[in-house]
Structure 1
Amino acid sequence: MKLKPLLVYHSENPRALKGYAKSSLPVIWHSNKKAWMIMTLFQDWFTNYFCPAVERYNAKRNISNKALLLLDNAPSHPVNLNDLLDNVRVEYRYIPKNTTSLLQPMDQGVIANFKAYYLRNTFLQLIKAIDGEDKPTIRDFWKKFNILDAVDNIAESWDEVKTSAMNGSWKNIWPECVHEFQGFSQAESLQKVQQGIVTLANNIGFEEVVENDVVKLLESHREDLTNEDLMMEQERELQDKRRI
């Protein structure tokens, strides 16, 4: 089962989405000023999207409406989710620092592949935009690239992530739950996409781009705020609300 991606943006009504109904977007749209996932958004996603989506999926296949949701210790994950519904069990697991890519199934191929597809599709958009005479420059393309372009890329890239990739991600950490595994190689697939990105980058005119550059770019999200930083920031926001 592939859930619709959730996107958290810093603006509720960006100019690029004028005239678009957010319910028709290929993502679940949420916003806050920091563009971060926070507890209230996560609980809204859990109760109003995740649980109903699981129920529809199970009903369509005539199977018992039960689900297990595994979460790490991110500060945006509410601890009371098990109190909300009886048919969904939530298990919280402490993940030691800097081990997410080793211990989390979604990081073991699914997220990595999605990010690689997204980067490749963005480069394809760029090539299409600047191809031919009287076309915009690369700088002009990036200036005009907006959240709607990003949403389109998210949808296309998420569609490219195969169910076999999602299934195979669990093979190392929970082999009993993987059925009909066809020997899908996450590493081989990702490497091919990365090599394709290198070719596209060089065709665009980015000089001497090598595969290691692409790998570093795709892994740059790991330099984001730590859980401790997020917890401190959320505590400051709560204090600000109390003052108001």
Structure 2
Amino acid sequence: LTCNALGTKKLEPLIIGRYQRPCCFKRRSGSELGFLYFFNTKAWMNHTIFQDWIAKLNLKVEFFHPNMTLHLQPLDSGIIQNFKSSFKTQSVDREMDPKKLFEIDQFIAMNLAIKAWQAVSEATIHNCWIHMGLIDLTQVWSVSVFFFFFLG
């Protein structure tokens, strides 16, 4: 998940799966289905996927010292919780329909993730950045920093 401090810019979730064309994709690739989708045997983020993704975004990335990341994670301060809550709510709502019981495959889960990310409000994102103390309220409109979080 990637967003700026105001919550006005939320990038499409990058999704990593195990297979190039899972059965539920019906012989199409993730990109053909409209997803930002990568794959490898363990479905993990690796340097190749990260470099390809960053190159497409045309962003400069600054890395923090290892001990700094614990204190500088605005997505950990409520954004991810909000995303997961929305995802779970959608999943449960879907399971309440007897015709769709236990029908969540990778394709459906990816669509639910997109909807869950869209449901995270600008206010939620903005408040989490403020709560972390990473932005000055008087200069908030000039902030265009992005944070990345990878769901494992």
Q: Quick check: 1:118–1:153 contact (8 Å CA) kept in 2?
A: yes
Q: Quick check: 2:21–2:29 contact (8 Å CA) kept in 1?
A: no
Q: From the CA coordinates, give the structure whose radius of gyration is larger.
A: 1
| From 112, 117, 126, the counterpart of 1:158 | 117
The structure with the largest helix share of the pair is 1
**Structure having greater relative contact order (Cα 8 Å, sep ≥ 6):** 2
Aligned-residue Cα RMSD (Å) equals: 2.4
TM-score normalised by L of structure 2:
0.75
1:62-105 CA-partner distances (Å, limit 9, x unpaired): xxxxxxxxxxxxxxxxxxxxxxxxxx4322113449x74x5301
1:99-144 CA-partner distances (Å, limit 9, x unpaired): 74x530111121111011101110000002x2xxxx57xxxx33x3
Q: How does 1:44-193 map to 2 (within 5 A)?
A: 44-48=52-56, 50-51=57-58, 88-96=59-67, 100=70, 103-128=72-97, 130=98, 135=99, 141-142=101-102, 144-171=103-130, 172-176=132-136, 177-179=139-141
Give how far 1:166 is off: 1.7
TM-score normalised by L of structure 1:
0.48
Q: Does 1:22 align with 2:30?
A: yes
Structure-2 residue corresponding to 1:190 = none
Structure 2, unaligned runs of 5 or more: 1-8, 142-150
Q: How does 1:188-203 map to 2 (within 5 A)?
A: none
Does the residue aligned with 1:120 lie in a helix, a strand or coil? helix
The 1-side partners of 2:27 and 2:61 are apart by 38
Does the residue aligned with 1:103 lie in a helix, a strand or coil? coil
Structure-2 residue corresponding to 1:42 = 50
Identity level (%): 27
Structure 1, unaligned runs of 5 or more: 52-87, 180-220, 225-244
Q: Quick check: 2:129–2:135 contact (8 Å CA) kept in 1?
A: yes
Does the residue aligned with 1:178 lie in a helix, a strand or coil? helix
Q: Quick check: 2:72–2:134 contact (8 Å CA) kept in 1?
A: no
Q: Does 1:10 align with 2:18?
A: yes
Q: Does 1:32 align with 2:40?
A: yes
